[in-house]
């Protein structure tokens, strides 16, 4: 029927041309072409190859419709992007970051970095009930990417007025009906159309909760016809029925069951298409976003066989009998600057406009590049008060621009969990309870506990101060316990069960996501009980100190794990105001019947600590780094919390220093200086190889203490060392459970080669 209708239209057009010789060819309407692009996840990149063939054939769509990834490719094509531009965007984009909830670490607020990207699960708490997330990915980076790419049509809400009229389809999850989106915010419409249930969070538009259109209507041919298309050229990358021989498990059955409605609807829509391409290959899956290059090539090759037919169609449509196609091959250019006359915030409930604007740092009546605008939005998002911050630019009747910020807040409370194991500190379960605005607006409280052989507790309260939230008040406490700390002091060499507690209160700057200066009062408590006491006369040791501390924190690393560029620095000056020590003396001394204790007070002293690392990205897959660390006390007699435990790939005790080449906490020192250098290589996606060498020099000779207490020699028989040179190599894979790593190491004072294994996010 569609062929007969098209033939009739062509005959009528010919008769009209022949009956009126004075009529110009540009006055004769030609049949209109509608291009239809289906969903299919990453397989939708094949549409770009399909569009490249259409361009070679000389065909320009008059209308475009799309679903899911087809909505993204189609929407960008409709506003003027060429297939070559889309190919470049698809290949150069880091899709692992875009389709995750992560933002670069250097855009996370400095006060939140220690708690960012360290958990496997996260659940909100609302109305005293734990709530499950509505999707795995909220997609902050995806929102920003789509807003950036569609910025040339910000303020143009009627999709029919695009260079090529456009519409996309989503599904109303409340009733299962397809919803055609042809006006409003293009980025938001595309995001709704690709909201795969349980993967991407649903999007609300005009009161409707929308998910992926491919759920019920994956090939929107009828929408293109309704727009006015006479000829339909469709590309389908969606699901297809598998024969029973290929349904080999529960997963196959469930997957096919989920797409029954969509596949049947697509089959019906295919019958309305005049030209249909199905660039499907079993080689690719819907989640293969990092294979964009290969999928685009597959789409091109799958469509290329139709090139002669398409050229013939183009020749017939754009002949002298009809108006010209006016194919535009100019690349789309993003605006260099956006002038913001005013800002409108929508969707915030518990968080005030003042706090949002203060962290956003954008002034009205000033121009901003899109890059800077997105950076400032990510900085506000990096406070972790928001699930999502998306933006659009609208223009009022007097031509002034309004920056629209759509906000979705995180729950007031959340529970996060993680598991970790390594052969240095054992296995542990991390539980984190975070509340925001629970006590005061602009406040955050974290209570975290690591349930492990060596338990740890962290309590941290944080409150923004001032109109622009550039300063914050903090109060917190930390507790850690470690069994069998070795070499605690060169005069002893005893193995201890050690516990450390610190309570602090102070202020810090928060105007930069990567730099903070501040000061605090610090109360430190230490308690050490020998577990191996061959030499020592001390049964128990404890101390208490009060200090005033100033600090400079810098962290511009691009990632939490396996960073490739940036600087990380922790520099602290501390003045010890008072210190009290208590030592319980063994009754074996002088053959006394009862043990006794001695109390001591230390003189006031100064401390300078520094730990600085710089990473250089030399190649997309290769980086190198340099680092220095050290501590200087104005006295050799300090409290236990001012001594440093050295050794291990990933030590987590307070005042511990990583040293590749030594066992965890193998050395201890009061004053020390250390330097390190390393390289990191990523041979495959999510796989990393690291090689590091480091050198340490303490202010006093240190002893090496063996792991086995039975083999521990007497103090007088132990070797002493002036310094140590160590090196190690580590292989890692970044899994959903956290990094999985294995490594080997050795140092100049110990011929034994050590091994390291770890799984999960570190505490």
In angstroms, rounded to a whole number, what is the distance separating the alpha carbons of residues 443 and 435? 8
Catalytic (active-site) positions: 68, 212
C-alpha 377/C-alpha 143 separation (Å) is 11
Give the pair of three-digit tokens for residue 62.
């008059």
Q: Using CA atoms, how far apart are residues 701 and 719, in angstroms rounded to an integer?
A: 9
Q: Write down how long the chain is.
A: 763
Find out whether 483 and 497 touch, Cβ atoms under 8 Å.
yes
Task: Determine contact, residues 54/329, Cβ cutoff 8 Å.
Answer: no
Measured in whole angstroms, how far is the alpha carbon of residue 432 from the centre of its chain?
A: 19
Residue 48: which H helix or E strand, with range?
A: helix 46-57
Buried-exposed string 728-762: b where 16+ CB fall within 10 A, e elsewhere: bebebebeeebbbbebebbbebbeeebebebbbbb
Separation of alpha carbons 86 and 84, rounded Å: 5
d(CA 460, CA 441): 16
Q: How many CA atoms lie within 13 A of 443 on its CB side?
A: 13
Per the listing, tokens 């499907």 go with: 280
- CB neighbourhood size of 449 (10 A): 18
Instruction: Read off the tokens for 618.
Output: 């030399």
Q: Determine contact, residues 34/63, Cβ cutoff 8 Å.
A: yes
User: Rounded distance, CA 675 to CA 683, Å?
Assistant: 27
Total Cβ atoms within 10 A of residue 579: 22
Location of structure tokens 């060498």: 693
Closest CA to 388 of 641, 135, 164: 135
Strand partners, 521: 505, 548
């Amino acid at each position: 029927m569609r062929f007969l209708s098209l033939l009739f239209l062509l005959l009528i057009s010919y008769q009209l041309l022949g009956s009126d010789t004075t009529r110009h060819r540009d006055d004769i309407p030609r049949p209109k072409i509608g291009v239809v692009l289906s969903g299919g996840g990453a397989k939708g990149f094949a549409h770009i190859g399909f569009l490249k063939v259409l361009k070679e054939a000389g065909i320009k769509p008059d209308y475009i419709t799309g679903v899911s990834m087809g909505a993204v490719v189609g929407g960008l094509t409709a506003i003027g992007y060429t297939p070559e531009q889309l190919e470049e965007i698809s290949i150069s984009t880091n899709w692992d970051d875009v389709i995750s909830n992560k933002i670069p670490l250097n855009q996370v607020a400095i006060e939140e970095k220690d708690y960012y990207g360290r958990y496997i699960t996260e659940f909100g708490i609302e109305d005293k009930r734990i709530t499950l997330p509505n999707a795995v990915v909220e997609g902050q980076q995806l929102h920003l990417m789509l807003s950036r790419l569609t910025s040339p049509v910000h303020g143009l809400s009627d999709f029919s007025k695009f260079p090529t009229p456009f519409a996309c389809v989503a599904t109303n999850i409340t009733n299962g009906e397809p919803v055609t989106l042809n006006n409003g915010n293009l980025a938001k419409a595309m995001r709704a159309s690709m909201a795969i249930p349980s993967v991407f969070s649903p999007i609300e538009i005009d009161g409707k909760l929308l998910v992926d259109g491919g759920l019920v209507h994956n090939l929107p041919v009828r929408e293109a016809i309704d727009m006015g298309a006479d000829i339909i050229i469709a590309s389908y990358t969606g699901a297809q029925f598998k024969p029973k021989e290929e349904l080999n498990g529960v997963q196959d059955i469930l997957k096919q069951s989920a797409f029954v409605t969509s596949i049947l609807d697509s089959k019906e829509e295919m019958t309305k298409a005049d030209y249909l391409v199905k660039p499907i290959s079993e080689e690719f899956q819907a989640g293969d976003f990092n294979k964009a290059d290969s999928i685009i090539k597959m789409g091109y090759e799958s469509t290329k066989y139709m090139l002669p037919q398409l050229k013939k169609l183009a020749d017939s449509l754009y002949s002298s009998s009809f108006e010209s196609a006016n194919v535009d091959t100019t690349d789309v250019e993003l605006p260099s600057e956006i002038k913001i006359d005013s800002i409108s915030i929508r969707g915030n409930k518990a968080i005030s406009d003042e706090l949002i604007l203060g962290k956003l740092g954008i002034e009205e009546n000033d121009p901003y590049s899109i890059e800077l605008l997105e950076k400032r939005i990510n900085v506000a998002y990096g406070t972790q008060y928001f699930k999502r911050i998306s933006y659009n630019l609208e223009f009022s009747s007097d031509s002034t621009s309004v920056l629209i910020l759509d906000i979705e807040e995180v729950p007031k409370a959340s529970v996060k969990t993680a598991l970790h194991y390594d052969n240095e500190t054992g296995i542990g379960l991390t539980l984190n309870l975070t509340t925001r605005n629970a006590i005061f607006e602009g406040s955050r409280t974290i209570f975290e506990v690591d349930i492990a052989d060596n338990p740890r507790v962290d309590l941290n309260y944080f409150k923004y101060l001032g109109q622009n939230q550039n300063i914050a008040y903090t109060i917190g406490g930390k507790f850690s316990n470690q069994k069998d700390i070795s070499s605690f002091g060169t005069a002893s060499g005893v193995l201890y069960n050690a516990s450390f507690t610190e309570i602090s209160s102070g202020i810090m700057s928060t105007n930069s996501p990567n730099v903070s200066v501040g000061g605090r009062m610090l109360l430190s408590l230490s308690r050490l009980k020998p577990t191996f006491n061959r030499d020592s006369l001390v049964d128990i040791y404890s101390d208490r100190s009060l200090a005033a501390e100033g600090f400079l924190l810098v962290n511009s690393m691009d990632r939490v794990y396996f960073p490739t560029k940036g600087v990380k620095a922790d520099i602290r000056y501390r003045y010890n105001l008072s210190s009290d020590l208590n030592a319980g003396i063994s009754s074996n001394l002088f053959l006394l019947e009862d043990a006794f204790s001695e109390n001591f007070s230390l003189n006031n002293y100064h401390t300078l600590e520094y730990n600085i690392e710089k990473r250089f990205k030399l190649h997309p897959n290769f980086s190198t780094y340099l680092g220095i660390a050290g501590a200087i006390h104005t006295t050799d007699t300090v409290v236990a919390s001012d001594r440093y435990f050295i050794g291990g790939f990933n030590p987590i005790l307070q005042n511990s220093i990583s040293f590749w080449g030594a066992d965890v906490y193998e050395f201890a020192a009061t004053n020390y200086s250390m330097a390190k250098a390393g390289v990191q290589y990523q041979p495959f996606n999510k796989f990393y190889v690291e090689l590091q060498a480091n050198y340490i020099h303490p202010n006093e000779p240190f002893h090496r203490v063996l792991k086995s207490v039975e083999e521990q020699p007497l103090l007088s028989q132990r070797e002493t060392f002036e310094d140590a040179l160590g090196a190690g190599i580590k292989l890692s894979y970044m899994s959903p459970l956290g990094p999985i790593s294995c490594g080997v190491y050795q140092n100049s004072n110990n011929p034994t080669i050590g091994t390291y294994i770890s799984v999960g996010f570190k505490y």
